[in-house]
């Protein structure tokens, strides 16, 4: 058992479409690729609180968690940076998007569009699972 | 952003009932309390792989993940032991249970029984969420 970093990602839904962001062209890694909102856990917060904070910091949007969907592990850069992650399905509540310098563009995309976007292949499993759940759950499903 | 430990827990279902284990009476912490299967992530494994490994090590059962359900963060013991966790809903596939010395007893319990068990209050949110999902998903639901 070792310590590691914990990353979170969020597929934020609004009226059946999902927020995707285009990485700035000046990024060292994957410039101009489309992605979902991601961030890393600070100490003394739950992953749930962490992803809602990251969504707000990156976009200014208030959102709620529908449920965690997918987990994984990778080395970010090198062996000194072990990172587990949790990807969430979230729902827009309110707010207007203010993009940071990290991103050059945004889009509310359908799952079909995301599954056809070649720079988003590593998010496909997340969206395929959400698509499967949406066949069973009402559009306002939330844990109570 | 800091490094932390990652714990996992599993609510393992078999024919609508869930595996709960009674902690040995010799345990320093919470002797004789009922709990689900828990464990900690090793490096170079995903949380999904980690919880299936822990279930097998603790019980000898082969299982599959239905989905992650709940996440959280706590300090286990002291500030030097920050731990995030993911709790899963899993399904029994095969095997006969071999209990380790960590546990004195096991039971396949209904969610109603678990929600009435006073030593399991910190698992109630997990089982309430599973109960809610079971109203919408078929009994053999799995991500494909």
Report whether pLDDT(A111) > 90: yes
Q: From chain B, pick out residues whose CB is under 8 angstroms from the CB of A49.
A: 73
Q: Among residues of chain A, what percentage have pLDDT more than 90? A: 82
What is the pLDDT confidence band of residue A80, given thresholds at 50, 70 and 90?
A: confident
DSSP annotation of B16 reads T
Query: Inter-chain contact A68–B86, Cβ cutoff 8 Å?
Result: yes
Nearest-Cα distance to chain B for A113, in Å, is 20
Could you tell me the mean pLDDT of each successive run of 10 residues in chain B, 144 residues long? Answer: 91 98 91 95 90 95 97 88 95 94 94 97 97 97 95
Nearest CA in chain B to A129: B143
Q: Give the domains, in start order, of chain A with CATH numbers.
A: 5-134 (3.90.79.10)
Geometric angle at alpha carbon B125, from B120 and B130, rounded to 5°: 105
Burial of residue A144, with CB atoms counted within 10 A of its CB: 0-12 exposed, 13-18 middle, 19 or more buried = exposed
The answer to whether the beta carbons of residues A64 and A142 sit under 8 Å apart is: yes
What is the pLDDT confidence band of residue A105, given thresholds at 50, 70 and 90?
A: very high
Q: From chain A, pick out residues whose CB is under 8 angstroms from the CB of B136.
A: 136-138, 141
Q: From chain B, pick out residues whose CB is under 8 angstroms from the CB of A2.
A: 5, 42-43
Q: Which of B15, B84, B65, B70 is nearest to A129 (CA)?
A: B65
ipTM: 0.92
Higher pLDDT, B45 or A127: A127
Q: What do you get for the CA distance between the two ends of chain A, in Å?
A: 34
Say how many CA atoms lie within 13 Å of B47 toward its Cβ.
33
Report whether pLDDT(A43) > 80: no
Beta-carbon count within 10 A of A114 CB:
23
d(CA B105, CA B84): 27
Query: Inter-chain contact A41–B71, Cβ cutoff 8 Å?
Result: no
What pLDDT score does A69 carry? 98
The answer to whether the beta carbons of residues B130 and A131 sit under 8 Å apart is: no
Burial of residue A132, with CB atoms counted within 10 A of its CB: 0-12 exposed, 13-18 middle, 19 or more buried = middle
The answer to whether the beta carbons of residues A113 and A35 sit under 8 Å apart is: no
Report whether pLDDT(A76) > 90: no
Nearest-Cα distance to chain A for B43, in Å, is 6
State the pTM of this model.
0.94
């Amino acid at each position: 058992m070792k310590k590691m970093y914990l990353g979170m990602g969020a597929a934020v839904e609004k009226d059946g479409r999902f927020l995707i962001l285009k990485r700035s062209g000046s990024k060292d890694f994957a410039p101009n690729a489309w992605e979902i909102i991601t961030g890393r856990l600070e100490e003394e917060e739950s992953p749930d609180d962490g992803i809602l904070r990251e969504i707000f910091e990156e976009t200014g949007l208030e959102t709620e968690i529908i449920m965690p969907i997918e987990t994984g592990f990778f080395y970010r850069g090198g062996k000194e940076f072990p990172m587990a992650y949790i990807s969430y399905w979230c729902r827009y509540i309110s707010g207007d998007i203010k993009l940071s310098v990290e991103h050059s563009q945004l889009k509310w995309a359908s799952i079909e569009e995301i599954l056809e976007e070649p720079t988003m292949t590593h998010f496909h499993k997340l969206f395929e699972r959400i698509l499967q759940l949406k066949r069973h759950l009402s559009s306002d499903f939330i844990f109570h």
